[in-house]
A = this chain, B = another copy of it.
């Protein structure tokens, strides 16, 4: 279940978002904010997976709110949704740490797809902006592997300490037998842990768990 916080100063806009999201059985709206300050406070309280963030809001705007939320190290992903697709807004928002940028006149399906993509760690950008993004930066590719100081990944949120340990050694390539030996456990115990890890993280086998371990930087490439 993806938890979403709506931050927008216009009541009808919030209403529309809420209706759309609540109609999906894998999403739930955990709160509504009418300005940036309120948004940061509600993120702090509810720890949503995703924030639908408007840019133009009285008081603290969406960009600055994004910056502050990211600065707290929260696992929350921020999806900026605005009426304007002006470059500077978008660039500022993305630079502030947002995971995506969509325009309000997008189709509902696009919005939902965007939320799901962002929640799963991907990023989305409105096509109208992607063009400019590519034009401006295509010549600076590919990216260097410099790692961003990423906050705790939501996919690991529900894991216990012990499960994190197990996931780490899975990420180092240990078999269940090896884990059992080196951690002085019964193999059945290891299997129980592994099963719970796969279930909690939504991965189907240890291979994908290894990939998750890398993606979340629980383990790092040699």
- The residues of A with any CB-CB pair to B shorter than 8 Å are 87-88, 91, 94-95, 99-100, 109-110, 113, 117, 121-125, 127-128, 130-148, 170-173, 175, 205-208, 210-211, 214-215, 217, 220-222
Q: Which residue of chain B has its CB nearest to the CB of A125?
A: B130
- Interchain CB contact under 8 A, B141 and A136: yes
* Cross-chain pairs A/B with CB under 8 angstroms, 17 sampled: A87-B143, A94-B138, A94-B141, A122-B131, A122-B222, A123-B133, A125-B130, A140-B140, A140-B142, A142-B148, A144-B144, A170-B207, A175-B207, A207-B207, A210-B210, A215-B221, A215-B222
- Interchain CB contact under 8 A, B145 and A144: no
- Interchain CB contact under 8 A, A139 and B148: yes
Main secondary structure of the interface of A (DSSP, over half): helix
Known contacts: A136-B140, A141-B94, A211-B172. The answer to whether A121 contacts B113 by CB under 8 A is: no
- Interchain CB contact under 8 A, A143 and B140: yes
Which B residues touch A133, using CB under 8 A? Answer: 123, 133-134, 137, 141, 143
- Interchain CB contact under 8 A, B94 and A137: yes
What distance in Å separates the Cβ of A100 from its nearest Cβ neighbour in chain B? 8
Within the assembled complex, what's the spacing in Å between the Cα atoms of A113 and B173? 22
13 additional A-B pairs beyond A121-B222, A133-B133, beta carbons within 8 Å, are A99-B134, A122-B131, A124-B130, A125-B134, A130-B130, A132-B143, A137-B140, A139-B143, A139-B148, A140-B140, A140-B141, A144-B144, A210-B211
Within the assembled complex, what's the spacing in Å between the Cα atoms of A144 and B132? 10
- Interchain CB contact under 8 A, A141 and B143: yes
Which B residues touch A123, using CB under 8 A? Answer: 127, 130-131, 133-134
Max chain B C-beta neighbours (<10 A), residue from A87, A135, A142: A142
Which B residues touch A142, using CB under 8 A? Answer: 87-88, 91, 136, 140, 144, 147-148
Which B residues touch A139, using CB under 8 A? Answer: 95, 143, 145-146, 148
